[in-house]
Copies of this chain bind each other. A is one copy, B any other.
Amino acid sequence: MISSVKEAMERHINQDQIITVYGWIRSLRKMKNVTFALINDGTTGKNMQAVLKPCQGEGNNCKIRLSTGCSVKLTGLYRTIQGGSREKQEYELHVDNLQICGYADPSSYPLQKKHHDLEYLREKAHLRLRTESMSKLLSKDYIQTHPPVLTSSDCEGSGEIFKVESLNGSNSFFKKNTYLTVSAQLHLEALSHSLSKVWSLSPTFRAEKSRTSRHLAEFYMLEAETSFINDIEDLMSIVEQMVHDLVNNLKNSSIGNEIISDNYRTNKKDQVKLEDRWDFFLKKHWTRITYSEAIEALKNSSVHFKFLPKYGHDLQAEHEKWLTEKYTGSPLFIINYPKELKPFYMRLNNDSLKHEDRDTVSCFDLIIPQIGELAGGSLREERIDILKQSISAHKAHLSNLSWYIDIRRWGTAKHGGFGLGFDRFIAYLTGIKNVKDVVAFPRWHRHCNF
């Protein structure tokens, strides 16, 4: 049974139980016949005590050394501490199997001492999240976080970003180029390496000149990032479950009823049946196909597309529309795109069992009618060398991303996440045709009044 540290520590069961826990080593006390480790995964301020055999998990001759900051997977018997007090039973994990997910070389990992100066830690803001005091400040379970609006990196590499400068400053206020965030993802990855599961609903910005009914220059993105996730299938299941719950709650709420009656009243001519739209999420079997399957299906269809579908080229709106509306008739996950079509941070499938997947990345686009892409997600490249190659190949500026690479340098964990355009989804669910009409003060190309 996989358990969070919080679950294990709060759900003290009468009989002892075998559990598996993921987390980071907070401290390590090596004795002659036994090693004690304190494990934390961010779900609680408390640490779990783990009891290891000497050199357990450290390979031949202890060449790989366990140390503070390593990310680990531990399986063993969770049982009461022998000889502990009767009044307050305490538990510890007797580890049978230990796997290091991400090593944290003690000769370089900056968080060695129990207490560092706050000034020192501030310079390591991407790592200090993993300290006890910082992670306690944050909250529990899937934890809401508030990533910054101002950033020094363009995470999507699209160049369609806004630059920020002090009005009165002839010199640069921040010493380096500073932009409005296009996605909280990079910062959420740092947070997920302390708290395991994090989410945010934050303003994001795109300097796109599109003036369609679907585009805003300032919009809200719902983003989540999960550590210790191995399979893109699990990530898609999280998204499917979340959207399902959201729509189901809406359908069964009094607000849902109001929205439906308002919709009938205002959209008299051009009726959208909202109940059908909602049931499309709730009652259809969601489909998952690969990008190459999608290309094949498009080629084999008898439809005359304006853009010829071709492997290695982006799917066009007309392609996505046909796939979700005609081919599967369901919400559709398309996975494993060629790496050239996607941003630098997505995990390369080079270890896939299928040969044809090896130049693809482990990602998905979630496609639905009308909107097209509702959400996008991926596993993130957790292997430092492959990440660096990918950054070079994508021409992203390596220097601004050194902190992001650091996340993999010490205690890396397989992880993944997704983003969902929130305003667009609200507009779709409420039958409001233009996303500008679900935002109080919408901003788009040539429009920032008020």
- Using a CB–CB cutoff of 8 Å, the interface residues on chain A facing chain B are 45, 115, 118, 121-123, 125-126, 129, 133-134, 136-138, 145-153, 159-169, 173-176, 178-180, 187, 190-191, 203, 205, 207, 209, 217-218, 220, 258, 262, 266, 403, 430, 433-434, 436-443, 445-450
Contacts and interface: CB of A to CB of B under 8 A. Distances in A.
Contacts of A168: 159-160, 207
A437 to B, nearest CB: 5
Specify the main secondary structure of chain A where it touches its partner: loop
Contacts of A138: 440
Nearest to A122: B436
A150 B218 contact: yes
A373 to B, nearest CB: 23
A48 B348 CA distance: 60
Given A167-B162, A220-B146, A174 B438 contact: no
A270 B444 CA distance: 50
- 6 cross-chain pairs, A with B, having the tightest CB-CB distances, nearest first: A166-B207, A174-B448, A175-B446, A148-B441, A178-B448, A163-B167
Contact of A137 (B174, B190, B430): B430
A118 B437 contact: yes
Given A166-B207, A258-B136, A450-B187, A146 B440 contact: yes
Given A148-B440, A165-B165, A187-B440, 5 more contacts: A150-B448, A151-B448, A160-B167, A173-B217, A174-B446
A75 to B, nearest CB: 29
A414 B36 CA distance: 65
Nearest to A149: B203
Contacts of A434: 118
Contact of A203 (B118, B169, B203, B433): B203
A220 B200 CA distance: 15
A445 B122 CA distance: 14
A137 B438 contact: yes
A442 B440 CA distance: 28
Contact of A122 (B145, B173, B205, B442): B442
A293 to B, nearest CB: 36
A174 B180 CA distance: 15
Contacts of A438: 137
Contact of A443 (B150, B205, B448): B150
A122 B166 contact: no
A126 B163 CA distance: 27
7 contacts: A123-B449, A126-B450, A151-B450, A163-B164, A164-B180, A166-B207, A174-B217
